[in-house]
Amino acid sequence: MVLIIHTIWRIHEDLFRIYETLGFRVKYLPLKNIHIVEARQAIKSIDPLFIHANYARSPAFAAFLSKKPYIIYAHGSDLRISFRKDPIRNIARRFALKKASWIWVSTRDIIGNAKQLAGEKKVSWLPVPVNEEIFRPKKSQVDWKQGHEIAIFMPSRIDYYTKRNLVALKAIKESDLDIIFHYIAHGKDLADFESRVKKWKVTTVKHKIMSQSDMVQGYNAVDIIIDQFSDYGSYGMVTVEALLCGKPVITAPCDAPVYAAMTPKEFIERITEIIYKKTDSEKLRNWAIMRHGHSSTIIRMKQVFKKIGFL
């Protein structure tokens, strides 16, 4: 049995399905409402073959304390911002990374950090898997345009430091285009964001955190998706999910087929470009399937499991 330790279920439930496809029985241990010490007792009672720690934070600490073999799946801010800002926990994080059987990183810009901490030979890139059967182009059952010319959806959490998504709001405020702007109400800068929405009189619709099925409806109900504008040269899950739905994405420059922007002026230019250019939805979807689909993920995971003796 493989035990997935995580704090947020929706984000990587695809891993659950992939492990089952690989022939493992899978159990899930959420850390949202329990302490790491309690997690250690839970792991002991489950007695897994190995642990998949999703995030190099509390899941990795819990795996390290369990004394079971474990893999860490590290994501961007694990080894970027939080690593720099949290020196007290960095010692524990270093130990957890060094003792891991393998480390996957979901964004290539943190490979160097992971190798420096854990060693050259046990780190590889594993693009975040997304279920192409769930995220796909389809007629939406919701009307998100509401009579406006352009509907835009920004599902990324509202965090000015890591996502820089104030860029999008400033651009829409400065634009003469008839835009309705949908966003999800979560993130540490939500209060400031919403005060600016009111002050700048931007036409917006606020949504709660959404299920996968609701996200698919949302992606397919709008014209453009916004991800984030950080300068790491990487992209987030929002980009992948949107591309699987055949939707154009405006985000920071990266190696995905997106419309790159970093300033409000560039953002408006990209919107105009998208409006007057026919989107090749099939091409966008095929790119996402090749890199992030379940089949390619299974191949990458199998290679690692055979190397470390888990298969």
Could you tell me if 93 and 114 are in contact, meaning their C-beta atoms sit under 8 angstroms apart?
no
Q: Which of 54-58, 115-119, 275-279 has the highest mean pLDDT?
A: 275-279
* pLDDT number for residue 83: 55
The helix (H) or strand (E) run that includes residue 297 is: helix 294-308
Encode pLDDT of 194-245 as tens digits: 999 999 999 999 999 998 899 999 999 999 999 988 877 889 889 999 999 9
Domains of the chain by range and CATH?
2-129+293-308 (3.40.50.2000), 150-291 (3.40.50.2000)
* pLDDT number for residue 271: 96
How far is 300 from 124, CA to CA, in rounded Å? 9
Band of the pLDDT at 85, cuts 50, 70, 90? low
> Which of 6-15, 126-135, 227-236, 245-254 has the weakest average pLDDT?
6-15
Averaged confidence pLDDT in the chain: 91
* pLDDT number for residue 7: 65
This prediction has a pTM of: 0.90
